[in-house]
Structure 1
């Protein structure tokens, strides 16, 4: 058996040529180690390169990335894509930057509305790595696909500088991820992942930028230390996202397949969403939201996966709160706690609420706007998750 080398020490082995379309359909056989839900961004810029910094969860071998043109209105070509390890800022660890291939080719064209997986990059990627994916498109145009609120500084430049390990050319900072929406690794048999489907709280708003303090980040760190088969975490939160309506971004119902069910190795979906439906004052009732939850649960179960439901947190003090919205939240939370619709329940409301005013978040956990937790609140949420409830093989 050959010894596994660190990513920084290996060269890309070109695999036998196969169709990128077949890659996109089949997907990898590993487990997702990082993900961010794609949305429609501004127009792409021809000749632009991005150096995207992402923090992985589970470690493994044979890294693969997924490029997204889900919201494009035309094909997009990537003619140079590299993966390396961050040294500092846009600078990469010497010897770590390696070219990725797609169906054995250095260039890949992703059709409008599609995603494409890369070939595996031989070598080992440790858990909790600051991975850097650098990509260049000569023909980008029309709506770009990406994740606007990364809470992680990445970099851009004009021209193809993807092969360079120096950060000198990468002079344009960006707080968004472009075109990249997932990373997977090959792991030992039986290792799985959880996908957190949510809104801006899951996306990490009010947590500290560049420090990976979103609640799914804290959860990933717990999982790495725990005696559990679930090690990967995919953060599928989008700020402002709703369960039922498509504004802003596609609803949880409409993005469930692409963002969650298609991710490799995901055995459990952690559903923490609903506050945006409730506070929007669009006439959404508790029954409407419950019907949405039931549909998600049914589709996840049909896919052979489990669902953990989380109660909707308090938000009194936020400008859209009123007693009517609070009544809906209480009814929805009663359903989540007692209906038995979910395979397991995490009571985030109980963790976050003030004992003196249960409609309001505990001040020590409040990020300042009375709806988004701070770093301490994010950690408290992650600490409240029963890790055994994330293993679909152990719950029922």
Structure 2
């Protein structure tokens, strides 16, 4: 791979050259003599698919993602799950994100689909790219660039990214390293719903299935401070675990039992969770949107939904960790009846039906007012944790509990 040539007389040139070379090796092609170890395909990033706005043809998207597991042979998954019309992706590239919409020099490389530069995905479908030779570092930012050649109807993607992505409104600019053409910013993540790498054999992944709390609402945007991000950092730093991949499959407003903000957790379980490569464990944090709905399900109905998720995941050989529903008194839809249901549901979650439990309720509640979030962890809306709350949630997870004997 040709490395960028930088002027040695420029101020700070040595530091710039060192950074550029380091970035280039993040996504560098392997040497011809490098031995390929035995590997396992593992999801390193994910975002649940949903309906977005109108699909627009003839523009390029540059989507910024933060990896969890490192590995080789990167593949992306493009989704048309909610489209009514086929979508043709003209070209796609992947590289190391430098800053903003800019790609680190020398790292932007073309992806293919069945050996071709373009691919058409039918309504309801999805497609993986071919493996891209080279390596990807854990905990790194990638820029995935996709040119939408033909599209109509509804676009598929993820609505609440909490990460700025970029749009070039006219033409194919996927191969460009510069940010110049990407003049529009968006919080949406169009079409991309998974990134996969080959990691050392035995490496596994965790999927966080949830609602806005998992999706990162009220965490600081562009800083990767959602609780699954903090969990990914812990897993990456722990030499005692082979679980390294983390996919965030939260949808703001999502419910276990009924559609609304995204289809229900029961309906999207196969697509968003059980389809993920290398999946070993699901952490389920859903239920508050069911409980505060009007009309709301009974505790027994919600518990039945949990049991279905457990049974279907177990049938796929996947462990399920149940997370207790967190307090939300002070939120406008809170009432005593809903609080009673929350307590019943949490008793079930703690009662042994799951392979393990993480008691988020216990770690974020205010001991002086247990139906409320502790002020130090409250974003201010009394439902969503702030950055500190997100971290304490991730820190409460016993990493050993993420493995079971299935």
* Alignment TM-score > 0.5, same fold: yes
Deviations 1:242-301 (A, max 9, x none): 000011210000000000000000111110100000001213100010000000000000
Q: How does 1:1-396 map to 2 (within 5 A)?
A: 6-10=25-29, 30-157=41-168, 158-226=170-238, 227-338=240-351, 340-393=352-405
Cα distance in 2 for partners of 1:8, 1:270 equals 30
CA contact (8 A) 2:28 2:135 kept: no
Cα distance in 2 for partners of 1:213, 1:371 equals 17
Deviations 1:210-257 (A, max 9, x none): 000000000000000111011100100000000000112100000000
CA contact (8 A) 1:279 1:325 kept: yes
Cα distance in 2 for partners of 1:191, 1:67 equals 23
Cα distance in 1 for partners of 2:277, 2:296 equals 37
CA contact (8 A) 1:297 1:307 kept: yes
Cα distance in 2 for partners of 1:235, 1:390 equals 15
Q: Which residue of 1 aligns with 2:8?
A: none
* Length-normalised TM-score, structure 1: 0.93
Deviations 1:55-100 (A, max 9, x none): 0101000000000000000111001100001111011100000000
Question: Residue 213 of structure 1 aligns to a residue in which SS?
Answer: coil
The 1:211–1:293 alpha-carbon spacing in structure 2 relative to 1, beyond 3 Å, is: same
Question: Residue 30 of structure 1 aligns to a residue in which SS?
Answer: strand
Aligned residues: 375
Q: CA deviation at 1:29?
A: 5.4
Cα distance in 1 for partners of 2:349, 2:243 equals 23
Q: Which residue of 2 aligns with 1:20?
A: none
Q: CA deviation at 1:141?
A: 1.2
Unaligned 5+ runs, structure 2 = 1-23, 33-38
Cα distance in 2 for partners of 1:170, 1:353 equals 43
Question: Residue 103 of structure 1 aligns to a residue in which SS?
Answer: coil
Cα distance in 2 for partners of 1:322, 1:370 equals 13
Q: CA deviation at 1:137?
A: 1.3
Deviations 1:34-63 (A, max 9, x none): 000010111111101100001010100000
Q: CA deviation at 1:6?
A: 3.4
Q: Aligned-pair RMSD on alpha carbons? A: 1.5
Cα distance in 1 for partners of 2:397, 2:27 equals 34
Unaligned 5+ runs, structure 1 = 14-27
Question: Residue 377 of structure 1 aligns to a residue in which SS?
Answer: helix
Q: CA deviation at 1:140?
A: 1.4
Larger radius of gyration: 2
Question: Residue 208 of structure 1 aligns to a residue in which SS?
Answer: coil
Cα distance in 2 for partners of 1:9, 1:330 equals 51
CA contact (8 A) 1:7 1:122 kept: no
Cα distance in 1 for partners of 2:25, 2:260 equals 43
* Length-normalised TM-score, structure 2: 0.90
CA contact (8 A) 2:366 2:372 kept: yes
Cα distance in 2 for partners of 1:381, 1:76 equals 39
Cα distance in 2 for partners of 1:29, 1:118 equals 17
Cα distance in 1 for partners of 2:49, 2:368 equals 39
CA contact (8 A) 1:41 1:148 kept: yes
Deviations 1:364-392 (A, max 9, x none): 00011000000000000000001011123
Runs of 4 or more above 6 Å deviation: none
Cα distance in 2 for partners of 1:8, 1:61 equals 9
CA contact (8 A) 2:60 2:171 kept: yes
Question: Residue 60 of structure 2 aligns to a residue in which SS?
Answer: strand
Q: Which residue of 1 aligns with 2:7?
A: none
CA contact (8 A) 1:229 1:391 kept: no
